[in-house]
Structure 1
């Protein structure tokens, strides 16, 4: 669930500090550089659907939206966190859970509604738009930003 936080910078909204439901981990990727994002996209899509992600695939379906959100959240973690960035795909009942970890627990994730494209914050904006729920938490000096999606579109 996304909650606004009153008393903060105008136009800023913060995602809630909460853990996702308990999940069974299906797969995980460890990223050290932005060059590995292409591998993440293809491998995550295949893990979700069993099929290869087509070049320029439309964003009509849940798997493509999940791949986009995972890529954007991983980009944020690589840009603003300390390596490695870890992307986990899990399942909690009838939902997929994306969990993106970075090693900068002191910085709370935030997004600015209405921020122009190209000026950062796209990952959280897309997660808010496409996911059922999003949140974040810190555990053992690692920050987790997560998003839940329905298993079927």
Structure 2
């Protein structure tokens, strides 16, 4: 059997997850975590800071620093919730939506190219395998955030 960790190490590198910046849109450099935050804000309907932090399994302090950076970059807007001013609701600015769309299109182009290297059976097998892996990972009692 192949070394499972090695497979994930190589996959991580090929996806560019170790790069300081995952993508550049014009003069804007976006880190991998910022890309994930933007994706989740776009995906969820009027999410709170805590909801996105929980989704990404980030502690709120680290998450808050990332949000401050995205606000300064004018990609994210933070608004107090109407029902509880202590809760901040996140949304993308017009520029943030453009960045989200650009990253999405870029990732889809990359994945389309990767999957075009496979036949239909292989594509379906990989997608099904990834779905199974995600499901199994969600059931695991061992959290990877404590591992090296």
TM-score normalised by the chain length of structure 1: 0.24
TM-score normalised by the chain length of structure 2: 0.25
Higher helix share: 2
Give the structure, 1 or 2, with the largest relative contact order (CA under 8 Å, sep 6 or more): 1
Higher strand share: 1
Q: Which has the larger radius of gyration?
A: 2
